[in-house]
Amino acid sequence: MSSGTGGGSPKPVNPGVGIQGMHERVRQLGGQLDIQSVNGHGTLVRATLPVGKAFSQDGEETLGAAS
C-alpha cells in the first residue's frame, strides 16, 4: 500500500519499459526527458520539446507535440 509520498525505495530500481518508452518518444521528437525523485517528496517528470511545425513520415504537417 502506498503512502502517496513518492520516491518510496532508496535503492536503485529497474526503470521499467514505461520510463524507457517515455525517453524514446521524447528523444524522437527532438526533446529531453528529466525525472527527479526525492524520497518522501514525490517525483517530478519534465519533458522539454522543441516548438515548431511537426511533420508526419509522409511529409504532411501534423498537430501534436510541436503545435
d(CA 6, CA 43): 6
If DSSP codes are grouped into helix, strand and coil, which group holds residue 52?
A: coil
Q: Decide if pLDDT at 63 tops 60.
A: no
Q: How many domains does the chain have?
A: 1
Please name the amino acid found at residue 14: N
Any domain includes 40: yes
Q: Which domain holds residue 58?
A: 36-67
Q: Decide if pLDDT at 66 tops 90.
A: no
pLDDT band for position 65 (50/70/90)?
very low
**Which residue is listed with cell 514525490?**
42
Cβ-proximal residues to 59 (8 Å cutoff; 6+ apart), any chain: none
Any domain includes 16: no
Q: Are 35 and 66 in contact (CB under 8 A)?
A: no
- Tens-digit pLDDT profile for residues 1-41: 556 666 566 666 665 678 889 999 999 989 999 999 999 99
If DSSP codes are grouped into helix, strand and coil, which group holds residue 37?
A: strand
Any domain includes 63: yes
